[in-house]
Structure 1
Amino acid sequence: MIDGQQGNGSRKNRSIEDSDVDWTVFVSYVKPQTEGKKCGNMSTYLETVKRSFVDVPTQPGVDTVAFLEATEGLIKMFDLLGNSAFVVVQNDMNGNVKKIRTRYEAFPEQFKTLEDLVKHESTEKKRTATEGLLWLLRGLKFTQIALSRSQANKTEELNVSFDAAYTNTLKPYHSFVVKPVFVLAMKACPYRKDFYAKLGPPGSDVDGQLQAWLNALEKVITQLEAFYAAGNYAKGM
């Protein structure tokens, strides 16, 4: 999600700190918002996306195109949170999607799966797509854990679920500059009832669809994390 590492001499939060965002102005305008557009008719949000993670093939590897399409659907879901703070998150995730897609489109026949793409790039000095996927996985895991916790705790507000997920996923990789921005974003989450109303209208199977979507997303994340670990592909990133 947000590219950065801590430690002297290491790269820190390039996606955020190298941007043109005036953080003083940005932070001053972050505030909770609960107004927003709901899905029209009886369709749930997950019925409107181009592809669900449920429909992403994972054998013989994670299908590159399907994964990117499903990820774009997840990124757009942040719009339902109705808060400007998450625009930064969306932009960063979209940037990592672009890195992967650019690499894929250069050799589509060779990079049909994400595993093939990363393996091929491992022999090169500059591994832009590999790094982009690594950070994208961290962002996806943050979202998956936050929403899974919300599903399991029906009375817990989103700010609690997202804050706990941030602490256990992205926070260890963020510098002191970025951490306050994300902490503020977590506090600015809308009320749970408002978010779920935007996910789907009364009478829809939004809970069942969301749970299936989260289970499939977790499967993809687990598979790719194991792949990165086995090949030591995150080394130096």
Structure 2
Amino acid sequence: MAAYPPGGTYFDNGKRSFTQVPMNTSKENAISTSEYLEASEALTGLFDMLGQTAFSPIKKDMIQNIKPASFQHPNIKCSNSRGHDFTARALRRNLTQPNEELSVSFRDAYGLTLKQYHSFIIKPIFSAAMSACPYRKDFYGKLGDDEGRVKKDLDEWLRALEDRVKVLNEFLAKPEAKW
């Protein structure tokens, strides 16, 4: 059973997409909290496409972080930007490197984003998940039947996610965001 409508892609699944999360440019690119949290929850479904068993710890960690944090930013209360950055970097690299397997892309993204924050207990769990990535062709096939449309929709979704992660990371780097 496909996770997308007939003729569509995974990104047409009816759940909130990062392309549908408004950013208010007149208010320092404020991101709407409720829409962002909905898109964040929808993002976790991609981990089912990567391997429900192997990626369940990553998905669980991300879901636990989809909740309000203790800081305020105009219309934003979510601090799960590391997991989003990890996902965006892995998928962007894989999309732009058409001969690279997902395991390589995800391993690279893990080293650039999450690894430094994980203990010696957590690192092997993530490493095992990276090794359990499906083959590239199988993953992209789960996202839709039309390869060109899948790549187009994934690129649009990634651009929206990357834009929002950038805004959050810039905010989190500010002194007033240190709690």
Q: TM-score under structure 1 normalisation? A: 0.68
2:79 equivalent to 1:93: no
Change in 2 beyond 3 A, CA 1:150/1:203:
closer
What is the aligned partner in structure 1 of residue 170 from structure 2? 226
2:8 equivalent to 1:43: yes
Q: 2:117 aligns with which of 154, 161, 173?
A: 173
CA distance in 1, matches of 2:85, 2:109: 8
Q: AA paired with 2:149?
A: D
8 Å contact 1:150–1:161 — kept in the other structure? yes
- Secondary structure of the residue aligned to 2:168 is helix
What is the aligned partner in structure 2 of residue 154 from structure 1? 98
What is the aligned partner in structure 2 of residue 81 from structure 1? 50
Moved more, 170-179 or 82-91: 82-91
- Secondary structure of the residue aligned to 2:173 is helix
- Secondary structure of the residue aligned to 1:189 is coil
Q: Give the superposition deviation at 1:45.
A: 0.4
8 Å contact 1:51–1:69 — kept in the other structure? yes
Aligned residues: 174
8 Å contact 2:55–2:129 — kept in the other structure? yes
8 Å contact 2:4–2:12 — kept in the other structure? no
Q: AA paired with 1:169?
A: T
Q: AA paired with 1:93?
A: M
Matches within 5 A, 1:1-237: 37=2, 39-59=4-24, 60=27, 61-97=30-66, 99-100=67-68, 113-114=75-76, 117=77, 133-134=78-79, 136-202=80-146, 205-235=149-179
Mark the runs of 5 or more structure 2 residues left unpaired by the alignment. none
- Secondary structure of the residue aligned to 2:119 is coil
CA RMSD of aligned residues (A): 2.1
Q: Give the superposition deviation at 1:43.
A: 1.8
Change in 2 beyond 3 A, CA 1:49/1:167:
farther
Change in 2 beyond 3 A, CA 1:141/1:153:
same
Q: Give the superposition deviation at 1:231.
A: 3.3
- Secondary structure of the residue aligned to 1:227 is helix
Q: Give the superposition deviation at 1:203.
A: 6.0
Mark the runs of 5 or more structure 1 residues left unpaired by the alignment. 1-35, 104-109, 118-132
Runs (4+) of structure 1 moved beyond 4 Å? none
